[in-house]
């Protein structure tokens, strides 16, 4: 039995992909960077500063653009649609497991959303963008709660999340309902064993 369930945020609890695409494209354009939505969409997932560097943002512009994007998404956090079956699933699982959250998104953005939907109290810990990588956040979690990696299940939505789980040694379940990589998973049968359609199917 898993001792800790780790939830991703974007695409797993909050349907935030379009908000990020709008904010990133808007502020890149305002700062003179003409990058297509398609290219931005392909680069979504890493921490914002890493993603902007990957898109070719110059070092001198990085902090300004990052701050502008973060302010915009935090402001609109309470307008985000919640993913299907989130509240009922968290309520059900919190009686049997320790629930935590690991995300590349900014803590203030995540907390505003969770407070809006009365979800914050279900989580024992939030590990947000202050960790340079999700791998480091997982290792912090293993040490703090004195658990072995196989006793932890990561509930997420991207192919990269499968790679992270493999690197740190925990189990992974991918939720497809609002997944940022939904099309990729549907096209590849090899992921069938670790995917579920929505959080209602999370029977742990």
- Domains in the chain with CATH codes: 4-15+80-201 (3.40.50.1000), 17-78 (1.10.150)
User: Are residues 75 and 19 in contact, defined by beta-carbon separation less than 8 angstroms?
Assistant: no
CA distance 52 to 28: 9
The pLDDT assigned to 1 comes to: 65
- 3-state class of 126 per DSSP? strand
The pLDDT assigned to 100 comes to: 98
pLDDT one-digit tens code per residue, 65-103? 999 999 999 999 999 999 999 999 999 999 999 999 999
Q: Helices 159-168 and 134-145: crossing angle, nearest 10°?
A: 40
The structure's pTM equals 0.92
pLDDT one-digit tens code per residue, 3-22? 999 999 999 999 999 999 99
Mean residue pLDDT of the chain comes to: 93
The pLDDT assigned to 181 comes to: 80
The pLDDT assigned to 129 comes to: 86
For residue 187, pLDDT beyond 80: no
User: Are residues 19 and 76 in contact, defined by beta-carbon separation less than 8 angstroms?
Assistant: yes
Task: Indicate the helix (H) or strand (E) that contains 186.
Answer: helix 182-187
């Amino acid at each position: 039995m898993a001792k800790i369930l780790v939830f991703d945020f974007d695409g797993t609890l909050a349907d935030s992909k379009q908000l990020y695409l709008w904010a990133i494209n808007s502020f890149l354009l305002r700062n003179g960077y003409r990058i297509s939505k398609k290219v931005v969409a392909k680069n979504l997932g890493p921490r914002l500063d890493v993603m902007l560097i990957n898109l070719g943002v110059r070092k001198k512009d990085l902090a300004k653009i990052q701050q502008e994007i973060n302010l915009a998404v935090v402001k609109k956090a309470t307008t985000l649609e919640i993913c299907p079956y989130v509240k009922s699933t968290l309520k059900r699982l919190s009686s049997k497991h320790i629930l935590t959250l690991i995300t590349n998104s900014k803590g203030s953005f995540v907390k505003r959303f969770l407070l809006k939907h009365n979800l914050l109290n279900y989580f024992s810990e939030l590990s947000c963008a202050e960790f340079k990588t999700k791998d480091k956040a997982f290792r912090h979690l293993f040490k703090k709660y004195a658990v072995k990696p196989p006793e932890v299940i990561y509930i997420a939505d991207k192919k990269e999340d499968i790679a992270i789980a493999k690197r740190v040694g925990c189990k992974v379940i991918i939720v497809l309902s609002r997944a940022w990589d939904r099309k990729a998973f549907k096209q590849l049968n090899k992921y069938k064993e670790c995917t579920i359609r929505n959080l209602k199917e999370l029977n742990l």
